[in-house]
Structure formats: C-alpha cells, structure tokens
Structure 1
C-alpha cells in the first residue's frame, strides 16, 4: 500500500468501495433522520448529531475491513483530536456534509469520500441519501448514479459546461454561509442567476452542467470540498483559490486542513 504505483492500480477498485460505503453510511443517516435525533455543538459551535458519528464509523470500519492502509482524515475523528500523518496519498471523509440541512430537514445533506494524491483530489464520491442520488469522479470521468435501496440502478456520464463570455452565469451560493464577500463577487456578473443550495451538491450541479460558478469566501474544511472537487475536475471543471491556482489539499502548518477562499467553476470558465 505504501507504493504509489500499487495505489494507482487500485483506483478502479476504490471508487466502487467508496460508493458502497457512502450508500451504507447514507442508510445509517436516514435511520436517524426518520427516527429523530438530538443536536449537540462542537467547540467551533457547528452542529453535530449521532448520525454524523455513526456514519463515520460505518465508513472507517468498512475501509479497515478492506485492509486499506491509507491515512483517513475524517471530520468527527479530527474533532476528537485524531489526526493521522498524511503522506502523498490520503483520504478525506465528511460523513455528513450539510449537518445544518440535515437538522432543518432539508434534503441536501451528503456523504463525502475522496482520495487525494499529490495535493489534488483524484477520486471522489458524494451520496445524497434523501435524494437517492450519487455522484462519482475519477480517471474515467464523472457520473451521476441513481440508487435504489442499496443497489446502483443506473449511471450517466456528466460534463461541466463551457459558458459563453456574453452569457450571464448561473451562480451557486451557500444556503447557510452567505457572506458580504460572496455578494460582492456575484455583483461582478450583471444578470447572473443565483441559486442557493446546501452541502457539496453545489460542486455536482456544476459538474453536470446546470451551473457555472460556486464562490466561497468563508471558512471550509478540506473534507467539505475534496469529493466535490474531484467530481468537478473529472467533469472538466476546476476549483481555484482567489489567486487563480487549483485548490491544493493536505495539511498546512499554519491552518491545518482549512481551505482558503475559492471559486469552483465550469469547463473553460475564466472568472
């Protein structure tokens, strides 16, 4: 497992594994969603529920059962101080992205699993269990996947669109984290249509050609974005920091796994 050449050979096997574990985690989340749950708050005042923790356990236990010897940076483990040393390749896991949407019973919460290699997200799976909808991205492209129960019911390839320079863009804004900086960015595009949606599904809407831009000028963590970024890149888009460079993943000495501000964009888009 430590040999990067061996790991690259496993990529085709990892995506089906990520799909299966995301779907299993989604079933756990929906059980809490239907049966009820209490809400706690972490040190940063962000909400957390038993669904977050139980979904993460399903994913981590499933990875261990497969003998996958990769560092796993998972949100709830990190909040408890469990932060593995990361080499060139590691996993970023958000077992319940969009907890605020989950708590408020909006259907936009997701399960996110991504493989990072060399600072770039190269494989990603996002599952929205309340929508029975899964997205995946890797070397073979990006796909939208219909889920029925625990089974894959169908797949279709998706592609980010290239917007004409004279066409107002469709811009996605965070439903729970809108900032004045975001509003200022949107104001640069007269006539833009703005849609608000929660969680990492914003990346997926750009990846399937329904939107052009997702600006985020506020704190996010790498596990929030890696899976969606992998899917978007596989669909022909890109996520860039405010200097225009592709977003880089991995621990930083000064900020850990905190992302800088960024803009996710469709194919060939120059923001």
Structure 2
C-alpha cells in the first residue's frame, strides 16, 4: 500500500525520486522488450505506451508519498491538465527522448526533479537502456549507480586539447550551433538525443552541451539539479540563470557546462 512519507528532508525526497525513476526504467525496458505502438500527439511529437505507463507509476508514487507537493508531468499537461505553480513542485518527464526510444536507439531517460522557489534543488535521472541511475541535489552531491555500485561523480576541467561537445540529434543541422561554437576550441562534436547529454557532462565525459532548440521544464529540472550538484552550470546564453515556473513551462536556449 502506498503511504505518505513521515519526513520531507531533501535526502528522503531524493531517495523517493531515485526509487521511482529506477522502477519506471524497468517498466520501460519491459515494454520495449515485448514491443509497442507509437502514436503522434497534437504537437506532432511521438508518445508510446511506455511514456504513459512510466508516468502513471511515478505519479502514483509521488502523490501517495508527498501529497502536499504538486506534480507537473509531461503527458498530463499534454492531455490538458493544468497545475498552478507552487513554492515547491515536482517536474516529471517519464520518457525523455521518445524519438530515440521509438527508433530503437538507447539515448532516452526518466527525469524526476523537485523545484523550490524557481530553482531545481534535487533530481533523479534513469537511463534505462544503460542500466544507469544519476542523482544529485543541493548539499547532497551527485552520484551514478550502475552494475558496479554507486559512486560520486563530478564535472571535469576542460582538457587543453579542446572541448568535447554534445548537441541535439534532432537539431543537428541547426545553423545556430555552428555559430555558437565558432571560435571555441572544440576537439570533438557528437549528436545524441535526450537528457543523456546532461549525464555525460555531470560525470566528466563531456565539457559542453549547448541547447539552442526548444525544451520544456520537465526535460531539464532533474538533469540541472544533477549537473549543478556535480559542479557544473546551466545558464541562458547571456549567462543568467535558467529559472522555473514559466508560463507554458517552455525553456529558452541554454548551455550546460562543466569546468571550462
């Protein structure tokens, strides 16, 4: 039976988000193994049974354990559910990178983040195909859990030979990317989908992720908390903070960096 949590420390909330993200990842793997249908939403983006099943599981868990904290979730918003901004709220993307998932690729994630006073303060992000779970929060550090156990992660200092950059696969031909990178010492540039790019920055494999195309707050809240807990930064192009609680939940362009 699902019951409300007796404490609301950030460590407890992060453990809850981590457990639910990990469980949602297993749901997604199970559906992927047996096959699924992909349909197109009204905004022309894809959605699958895995999106809905993972979101339903996460929402049940969050609402049972933390009934006093509102939840904003991608598929509920797509279905027309409106939830007002509160001083603290959960942001859930049950399957970030549905295009990757539907195409049989491995770069998709489960994102559960907690926003407080317009700032992501903790987050859990599962990478189902890689059997990896990333967690982080203010004062809690950042960690990766995989088949080798749990270990702390940290962004790296950019190497002298140049930056390793990851950018969006879906927006790989965006001319703004070449303009943004012009003059920067780039040693390697790759393109993959979903919030996996944030994880690679947080664990020190990648130095820069410029996001010049559209994203939503549920895409970025959990990853931002993890990257910042790992010592990285996420800012708008002018260096100002990426804040939350915006009308329509849409983010402007931003950059995710390690230690440049």
Tell me the TM-score range normalised by the shorter chain. Answer: over 0.9
> Quick one: distance in 2 between partners of 1:212 and 1:250?
28
Q: 2:156 aligns with which of 146, 149, 161?
A: 161
Q: Deviations over 1:249-269 (max 9, x none)?
A: 1123xxx100000000113x3
Q: Deviations over 1:93-143 (max 9, x none)?
A: 000000011001111111000001111111011001111101000122100
Cα distance in 1, alignment partners of residues 183 and 72 from structure 2: 36
Q: 1:95, 1:191 → 2: CA distance? A: 33
Partner of 2:254: 262
Task: Show structure 1 runs of 4+ deviating over 4 A.
Answer: none
Distance 1:50 1:125 in 2: 22
TM-score (norm 2): 0.93
Cα separation, 2, equivalents of 1:120 and 1:184: 29
Aligned partners of 1:135 and 1:142 also within 8 Å: yes
Equivalent residue for 1:150? Answer: none
Equivalent-residue separation in structure 2 for 1:67 and 1:142 (angstroms) = 23
Equivalent residue for 1:187? 182
Match of 2:220?
Answer: 225
Shift of 1:187: 2.6
In 2: Cα distance, 1:102 partner to 1:109 partner = 6
Determine the C-alpha separation between the residues in 2 that align with 1:191 and 1:25.
36
Aligned to 1:3: none
Separation in 2 of the partners of 1:67 and 1:159?
Answer: 30
Which ranges in structure 1 are unaligned for 5 or more consecutive residues? 1-5, 148-152
Cα distance in 2 for partners of 1:172, 1:187 equals 15
Q: 1:24-73: CA deviations, max 9, x gaps?
A: 11111112111111111111100001110110000001112224321111
In 2, Cα distance between the equivalents of 1:188 and 1:119? 33
Partner residue, 1:70 = 69
Which of 208, 211, 222 is matched with 2:206 structurally? 211
Superposed, which structure 2 residues align to 1:1-271 within 5 Å? 9-138=8-137, 139-146=139-146, 154-163=149-158, 167-178=161-172, 179-252=174-247, 256-267=248-259, 269=260
